[in-house]
């Protein structure tokens, strides 16, 4: 069905939210029809999160009104939203790992629900909607895809008429995403409405009936995404054409091995950590190697191992032929390595420190030229740090509200551009980056991906850990897949297929995947 003919379920008129001097939402008008999948698109900082928090009662508008089924209403808190019939599945899950599926669900439903009844209802509903779950499973034992099923089933048990989904496929394999699409279409056909937030524009084209585009807190357009291209949707979001990522020459041969990991293993640090099992790989000069996989399969543990946050035996990791497995982060940086962790705020940057202080913190003990003399008799050469910060912000188009704001004042995408720029500015011989464009809009993602390609083209070795298969295919020369703490080789990006990678991500053995590819006659992957 098309959204144009649907009766209006929810409408906002002139909705405005002001934080101090910032208008996060500025006089928004929006209608969501009954029985439609409606996309909400926009850059990082465009105002999407603020809007849905008001719709779910987590924030109160400064002015304007919300109409539910034509009647003005005040959504005072999430409980009010759920009572009305509005449910939300957040991008970052809110589940207790040590409790069971049923325990987590009953905690969110309030009084009047028994654990036994919730367990029966959850298993029945999960089976009906193709989201299989066992109510007595502990969350800590579930994959990320299974945890998302828990969040969706928990939402559905509240019988919502409007479901808000924030980046629902960011943690799923291609096969899991396809199954989710089937479920969402069924919900739409039942008459439920879905407000769908995603940076993956190809799936917006496939899934959504209508799209509303936000820019700088304002509604700047509405369209039928099925009539658009991913590029045209991206242009509507950013207000100009998004630069196409330029690949390095395909015939450029990779050089010497700069990063060599041989038989690295690591026991789990916590009951819910993943053990690394006999990890071996090489990354050569001029090469980008991608590690695909669903979150929670050892990617964070691998990053910690390679970055030096966790030590290993000396010869398990080598750079330029020199054993570094027992060296710490700063020692590895002095050898020419750079690292960008998955978590921006808290791991990649200190929230309450300015950008210049964050730059100094990351580089004062490791850089060999520009920052070697920063500390002399306790005096900091602030001009050098300030100039470097400005250079990084200019080159990566970091948009900020002040000359030198604290890290927490930047939107997620702009902070990611700063952290990437901070490491790229060093021109490292080896760069390891975990989720380079997580939650980042199309324009910022294009800039970051181009920077990775340019770094490799200059002769560096780049290791990219990413859950985004589009990203893996766009920037990488070779693809590895991580599952349950092990690494499997998927082949070159030119030859690998999404089906093969998806099967490996789901735990299929390499030999079985190869047999399946032969039987189905797989060819080159489709972008």
Please indicate whether residue 416 or residue 244 has the higher confidence score (pLDDT).
416
Residue 439: which pLDDT band, with cuts at 50, 70 and 90?
low
Q: Which of 154-158, 292-296, 298-302, 477-481 has the lowest mean pLDDT?
A: 292-296
CB atoms closer than 10 angstroms to residue 370: 15
The residues, any chain, with a CB within 8 Å of residue 403's CB and separated by 6 or more, are none
Please tell me the pTM assigned to this model: 0.72
CATH (one of 3.40.50.300, 3.20.20.140, 1.10.10.1100, 3.40.1410.10) for 255-336+429-527: 3.40.50.300
Residue 251 has which token pair? 């015939």
Question: What is the model's pLDDT at position 9?
Answer: 97
DSSP state at residue 406: B
Question: What is the model's pLDDT at position 128?
Answer: 87
In whole angstroms, give the CA distance from residue 76 to residue 74: 6
Q: Which of 5-19, 366-380, 425-439 has the lowest mean pLDDT?
A: 366-380
Q: Tell me the fold of 3-238.
A: Rossmann fold (3.40.50)
- ∠ CA 198-24-243, rounded to 5°: 50
Residue 385: which pLDDT band, with cuts at 50, 70 and 90?
confident
Domain ranges of the chain: 3-238, 255-336+429-527, 355-427
Q: Does 518 score more than 80 pLDDT?
A: no
Q: Which of 98-112, 309-323, 379-393 has the lowest mean pLDDT?
A: 379-393
One fold for 3-238 and 255-336+429-527? yes
pLDDT tens-digit map of 284-327: 999 999 999 887 789 989 999 999 999 899 999 999 999 999 99
Residue 94 has which token pair? 């809110």
- What is the three-class DSSP state of 358? helix
């Amino acid at each position: 069905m098309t959204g144009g003919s649907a009766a209006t379920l929810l409408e906002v008129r002139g909705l405005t939210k002001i934080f101090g001097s910032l208008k996060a939402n500025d006089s928004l008008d929006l209608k969501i029809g009954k029985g439609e999948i409606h996309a909400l698109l926009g850059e990082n900082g465009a105002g999407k999160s603020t809007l849905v928090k008001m719709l779910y009662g987590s924030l109160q508008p400064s002015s304007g009104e919300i109409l539910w089924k034509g009647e003005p209403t005040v959504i005072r808190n999430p409980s009010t939203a759920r009572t009305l019939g509005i449910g939300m599945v957040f991008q970052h899950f809110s589940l207790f790992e040590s409790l069971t599926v049923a325990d987590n669900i009953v905690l969110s439903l309030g009084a009047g629900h028994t654990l036994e009844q919730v367990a029966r209802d959850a298993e029945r509903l999960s089976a009906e909607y193709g989201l299989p779950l066992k109510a007595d499973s502990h969350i800590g034992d579930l994959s990320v895809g299974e945890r998302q099923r828990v969040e969706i089933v928990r939402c559905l048990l509240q019988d919502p008429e409007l479901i808000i989904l924030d980046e629902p496929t960011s943690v799923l394999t291609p096969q899991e995403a396809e199954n989710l699409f089937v479920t969402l279409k069924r919900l739409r056909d039942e008459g439920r409405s879905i407000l769908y937030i995603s940076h993956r524009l190809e799936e917006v084209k496939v899934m959504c009936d209508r799209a509303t585009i936000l820019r700088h807190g304002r509604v700047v357009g509405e369209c039928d995404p099925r009539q658009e291209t991913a590029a045209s949707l991206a242009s509507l979001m950013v207000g100009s054409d998004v630069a196409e990522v330029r690949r390095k020459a395909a015939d450029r041969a990779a050089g010497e091995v700069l990063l060599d990991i041989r038989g690295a293993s690591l026991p789990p640090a916590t009951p819910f950590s993943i053990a690394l099992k006999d990890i071996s790989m090489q990354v050569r000069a001029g090469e980008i190697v991608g590690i695909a996989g669903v979150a929670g399969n050892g990617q964070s543990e691998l990053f910690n191992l390679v970055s030096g946050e966790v030590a290993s035996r000396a010869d398990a990791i080598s750079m330029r032929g020199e054993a570094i497995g027992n060296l710490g982060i700063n020692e590895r940086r002095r050898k020419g390595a750079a690292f960008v962790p998955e978590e921006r705020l808290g791991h990649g940057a200190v929230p309450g420190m300015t950008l210049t202080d964050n730059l100094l913190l990351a580089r004062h003990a490791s850089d060999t030229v520009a920052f070697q003399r920063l500390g002399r008799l306790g005096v900091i050469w602030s001009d050098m740090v300030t100039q470097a910060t400005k250079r990084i912000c200019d080159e990566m188009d970091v948009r900020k509200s002040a000359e030198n704001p604290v890290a927490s004042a930047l939107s997620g995408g702009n902070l990611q551009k700063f952290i990437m720029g901070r490491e790229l500015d060093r021109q490292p011989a080896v760069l390891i980056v975990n989720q380079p464009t997580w939650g980042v809009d199309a324009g910022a993602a294009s800039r970051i991906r181009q920077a990775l390609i340019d770094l490799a083209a200059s002769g560096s070795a780049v290791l990219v850990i990413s859950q985004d298969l589009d990203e893996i295919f766009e920037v990488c020369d070779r693809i590895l897949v991580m599952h349950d703490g092990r690494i499997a080789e998927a082949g070159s990006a030119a030859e690998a297929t999404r089906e093969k990678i998806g099967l490996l991500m789901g735990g299929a053995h390499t030999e079985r995947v190869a047999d399946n590819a032969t039987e189905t006659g797989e060819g080159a992957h489709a972008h």
